[in-house]
A = this chain, B = another copy of it.
Amino acid sequence: MLYIDFRNSKPIYEQIADRIEEMTIQGIYKTDEQLPSIRQLAMELSINPNTIQKAYSELENRNIIYSVKGRGIFISGNHEELKNKKILEFKNQVLSITKSAQNLGITKKQIISWIEEEKED
């Protein structure tokens, strides 16, 4: 469910934060559900607690979790807004890439055909 790819150049703390964000949007984590504690998750993943701390701080900045001293870390509940923001982000990514592609002479038709050919999971 939560794994780390040490070969990936993406920082560990970001991998964790992104994965938890994804799971939250997918509805795997529910509002006010408690996440594993920093130390526990650090043990499970064989990672330094500070790195987990950084991942959780990042998620708090993104308004995806909230932390309560002495109690733990919990999912906050504005999933709809979060999802819309994420969709917009994807849209911009797609458009930015297709624009670059067109600079190289790749047509929109071709890009669309790539997507259509792809297996739907």
Contact = CB atoms under 8 A, between A and B. Distances in A.
A106 to B, nearest CB: 6
A100 B87 CA distance: 11
Given A108-B116, A118-B108, A103 B68 contact: no
A116 B95 CA distance: 10
Interface in A74-121: 76, 83, 86-87, 90-91, 93-95, 97-106, 108, 111-112, 114-116, 118, 120-121
Nearest to A7: B66
A25 B104 CA distance: 7
Interface of A: 6-7, 9, 11, 22, 25-26, 61, 66, 68-69, 71, 76, 83, 86-87, 90-91, 93-95, 97-106, 108, 111-112, 114-116, 118, 120-121
25 contacts: A6-B71, A7-B66, A7-B68, A25-B105, A26-B103, A26-B104, A83-B105, A86-B104, A87-B104, A87-B106, A90-B97, A90-B104, A90-B106, A94-B94, A94-B97, A94-B101, A94-B115, A95-B115, A99-B118, A102-B120, A102-B121, A108-B116, A108-B118, A111-B115, A112-B116
